[in-house]
Structure 1
């Protein structure tokens, strides 16, 4: 019987054969209930149910991961204020301790008291007995004598009201135009219209050195991180350069050229070798102490006042009734926040942060002192004094713990206010007709004023009574 020839075998591609072989496996055979439009639309699911199952598992895990990440991101976003991402200071807690350098002062009859004194913030007080016991135990273990008793003052209105001049240097032949305390030593530097720079050791109540700058004049002066190196601005009308001066050997270490008019504001960064300066030429320049050329330039629309915050992360520029906050690492992007002070368009004189960075103040030529929350820009208090009629600067200063503000006035008087209550606490009359330069010594119950003389103000011990607590 003739057999019919078998038809030739047809070649099929490997993909089809593989697909058929997978579909023939009973374990992965698709059913009518699972074969939907969604499954057929995915080519890999038709070709490989095993791969489809793995894909579904991967997708499920991926969705869980994404949902978890999205949930945590949403929670963290809700906990932070709206501008937390823009303000570099938001990375730290707002209720941080104050960084106060404990200066020991020697002023007239109160030398020993000032040497043992320091200002204590009311919110940061510790158990004195525990501290004393621990210190005595440590000294005893080291074979050292016990430490002498300390006098700690929590500044209150009664202490502010008791303050009077304990010592004064009256050998100036011109008004003091600027002064600065060093952050980690007991040194004070002053600049005056008699073209002199003077270095004082406050702890020993002595003037260590006087340097004359007859050629360039001197207007503003401030310490660098080194206690015998300063940066100062000229006041001769033809050279507006800033100069880095070594007080040890009276040598210029560097010149900073860039401004074309009088420099009215200089502020150093406490954490880096950087500083900023503002000028009547309506520019703010950013500098590195190691380079002669400026590292950045900001143009402003008025007389600028500048300052760095306590961590060097943020600097502020005030002019035209507003304070503009810049991230020091990306200032070229512009201010991340602008705080208004109620439409006061008079020239900004001084802008400062408190020692802990939580508050800031601004003084203007019209005699207004504004105190703001440095994070939110909320106006906390406004103090008013006589307007400044001359080219002098109205300066104000926070007390070490930031609870009080002291300021000069256009009539030469000195005033003190409570930030919490907004009320005037004390005032001291003067025969001067221009506002004095004024600075509170960091961590000490003492402030200094500079006019035609340099005066150190301290509490009167006879009026303190129970306000002094010995530790």
Structure 2
């Protein structure tokens, strides 16, 4: 029974170790893209992955069976960022056509638009959906962050920023972060109009923010910047824990990084296309080369020993058991 005790126990028992992470390599590859993958997202409660690509396609994958279930084209609007809602076949995505910056709620089942969200006047560069309520936040190069309810066309709130923003809800949906200009501003989602309740510095790195994320347990945050820095902070006190460095990225690219489900590892792309992973506790674990020369889109799967990277191809990375003397850490 999905979501029953046995499934929850199985998820909890999966323990990543440095040996397992080092052994990971592509187990499935999808090379039928005609453009660069710009975004991807795993659904929190199913085996689905969705991708957005510069070839104007949205693709739905079954990760467990490594199959593409559906391809939907968005030729009129293009597609840039894509996120799952709570429903495994409903996604929110941003445009990439230069003339319509609306966000769209799309049913992948029947390829129907459920709602349009109009309010931004330049490209949307960051999206985060609330994990507990039907809300989301978006940030744009128009220097605004808008707060939305999925059931309403118009935004519920507006915050102005002084730079390119990166936004993220925490795992409880109670707090959200907005990063720009070398600082991360923390907001209470219920009283955001009062301004940030805390402001964290990232050590003088005032290059443009790319992504900000919380670990699943909410204790850690990461921020990536165009200068190739991945900052790890304590999300309660704002204290800097470590900074990892990779090749800088161009202004048109995004340096993406992602926590492992247990928060013990951070995986990141790089400006030269390589993939890096660090142990939050002990530092660098592994680096994998790439034939691409731009940072890959990168995400850990929420509940299995796998991560995905996207460039001009989509790769599912899994442990190579033959590299391990014994599968240490699996119970």
Shorter-chain TM-score bucket reads: over 0.9
Q: Would you say 1:436 and 2:279 are equivalent positions?
A: no
Query: Are 2:15 and 2:330, in contact at CA under 8 Å, matched by a contact in 1?
Result: no
- Post-superposition shift, 1:172? 0.3
**How many pairs are equivalent?**
327
How far apart are residue 469 of structure 1 and its match? 5.9
Aligned 1:288-299 pairs, distance under 5 A: 288-299=149-160
What aligned pairs does 1:161-176 form with structure 2 within 5 A after superposition? Answer: 161-176=22-37
DSSP-derived class of the 2:325 partner: helix
* 1:119/1:400 contact within 8 Å kept: no
My pick for the range that moved more, 204-213 or 284-293, is 204-213
Q: 1:258 aligns with which of 105, 119, 128?
A: 119
Does 2:299 align with 1:456? no
Match of 1:415 among 276, 297, 301: 276
Q: Secondary structure at the match of 2:33?
A: coil
Higher strand share: 2
Q: Secondary structure at the match of 1:160?
A: helix
User: What is the alpha-carbon distance in structure 1 between the residues aligned to residue 45 and residue 324 of structure 2?
Assistant: 28
Q: Is residue 2:169 matched to residue 1:303?
A: no
The secondary structure found in structure 2 opposite 1:400 is coil
1: distance between equivalents of 2:327 and 2:241? 27
Q: For 1:163-189, what per-residue CA distance to the aligned partner results, in whole angstroms no more than 9, with x for missing partners?
A: 111111110000000000001110100
Secondary structure at 1:467's aligned position in 2?
coil
Structure 2 runs not aligned, ≥5 long: none
The separation in 1 between residues aligned to 2:32 and 2:327, in whole angstroms, is 35
Corresponding residue SS for 2:49? strand
Q: How far did 1:156 drift?
A: 1.3
C-alpha RMSD of matched pairs (Å)? 1.7
Q: Secondary structure at the match of 2:324?
A: helix
TM norm structure 2: 0.96
Q: Which has the higher contact order (CA 8 A, sep 6+)?
A: 2
Q: What secondary structure, in the 3-state scheme, does the structure 1 residue paired with 2:64 have? A: helix
Indicate the larger mover: 410-419 or 201-210: 201-210
Contact 2:265 2:279 in 1 (8 A): yes
2:192 & 2:111 partners in 1: Cα distance? 35
Q: Which has the higher helix share?
A: 1
Q: Does 1:232 align with 2:100?
A: no
Q: CA–CA distance in 2 between the matches of 1:213 and 1:463?
A: 42
Question: Which of 303, 313, 326 in structure 2 is aligned with 1:466?
Answer: 326
**Deviation sequence 1:283-309 (CA, Å, 0-9, x none):** 000000000000000000000000000
Residue equivalent to 2:146: 285
How far is the alpha carbon of 1:351 from its aligned partner? 0.1
Deviations 1:39-71 (A, max 9, x none): xxxxxxxxxxxxxxxxxxxxxxxxxxxxxxxxx
Larger radius of gyration: 1
- Specify which of 303, 324, 348 is matched with residue 209 of structure 2: 348
**Residues in 2 aligned to 1:376 and 1:118: alpha-carbon distance in whole angstroms:** 32
3-state DSSP class of the match of 1:462?
A: helix
Q: Which residue of 2 aligns with 1:377?
A: 238
Hey, what's the Cα distance between the residues in 2 that align with 1:119 and 1:273? Answer: 25
1:193 Cα deviation after fit: 0.2
Q: Say which of 170, 174, 190 aligns to 1:313.
A: 174
8 Å contact from structure 1 (residues 153, 468) kept in 2: no
CA contact (8 A) 2:226 2:251 kept: no
SS in structure 1 of the partner of residue 79 of structure 2: coil
- Distance across 2 between alignment mates of 1:362 and 1:242: 24
The match for 2:130 among 254, 257, 269 is 269
CA offset at residue 417 of structure 1?
Answer: 0.6
Q: Residue 118 of structure 1 contacts residue 153 of structure 1 at CA under 8 Å; is this kept in 2? A: yes
SS in structure 2 of the partner of residue 357 of structure 1: coil
Q: Distance in 2 between matches of 1:220 and 1:118?
A: 32
In 1, distance between residues paired with 2:324 and 2:262? 19
Q: CA deviation at 1:418?
A: 1.1
Determine helix, strand or coil for the equivalent of 2:323.
Answer: helix
Distance 1:182 1:445 in 2: 15
> How big is the shift at 1:390?
4.7
CA distance in 2, matches of 1:420, 1:387: 24
